Amino acid sequence: MRLNTSIEVARYPSTQGLAFRGHDESESSANPGNFIALNHKMICSDIQKEIVNVFAMEVLRAIISDIGDSTFFLMVEEARDISMKEQMALVVSAMTLKATIDDFLPRYGLSISKLRGQGYDGASNMKGQFNGLKTLILNENPCAYYIHCFAHQLQLALVAVARKHNHISSLFDFSTRVLNVVGSLCKRRDLLREKQSENIIEAPDMGIFQVGEV
């Protein structure tokens, strides 16, 4: 019963992105942290970590199962300590990260040959031209294109908006279809460019815009 209660309590801050521990976890503290405030049993930090690790493994299994034999994208984010320093970017070398990735992927049945994208921040050990993690992976798989992690965050936000608004989703679906149709043949691209050039030439006469407008 205590274990089940602890698991349910741990699930709440995990799904909400909240901290488990408090700055002052003493009995006299008015704010001992979320885990202790919700659960007064099995409050050892080792137990909390074990429960969270079980959650992480279940999430990881679901992600791996969803990927299957498909291509995938690798994204590495920095971690911060209480001093708000980006520890990963400052301490961990690109070679160490690459070795960790090489150990992680085959352990879960993933191959770096299936990697089609990688996203990190702008630190030199991440995107460095010669010894950065980006370059080390590209040397092994040229198809793993690098995208700055902020651009990927914008993409995720766009996907979330498109899922909730049918008009936006339809716009991007239509745009994708047009790009696929036009981009599949050089003749179609040439015809589109010619038609666009004709429209630009005819636009001033039709009053769409004045000559010299940006």
Q: What is the pLDDT of residues 142-201, one digit of tens each?
A: 998 888 776 666 777 777 787 788 888 788 788 888 887 877 778 888 888 888 888 888
Per-residue pLDDT, averaged over 57-82, amounts to 79
What's the confidence (pLDDT) of residue 79? 53
Q: Which residue has the higher pLDDT, 141 or 33?
A: 141
Q: Where are the domains of the chain?
A: 1-65, 68-149, 165-202
CA neighbours within 13 Å on the CB side: how many for 144?
22
Residue 98: CB atoms within 10 Å: 19
Contact of 39 with 47, CB cutoff 8 Å: no
Residue 117: CB atoms within 10 Å: 15
CA distance between the termini of the chain: 70
Phi, psi dihedral angles at 53 (to 5 degrees): -65, -35
Task: Please list, in sequence order, all residues whose beta carbon lies within 8 angstroms of the beta carbon of residue 213, skipping any fewer than 6 positions away.
Answer: none
Per-residue pLDDT, averaged over 54-62, amounts to 87
Render pLDDT for 6-22 as a digit per residue (tens, 0 to 9): 888 888 887 777 777 77
Specify which residues 52 forms β-bridges with.
Answer: none
- Mean pLDDT score of the chain: 78
Per-residue pLDDT, averaged over 120-130, amounts to 76
Distance CA 26, CA 73 (A): 43
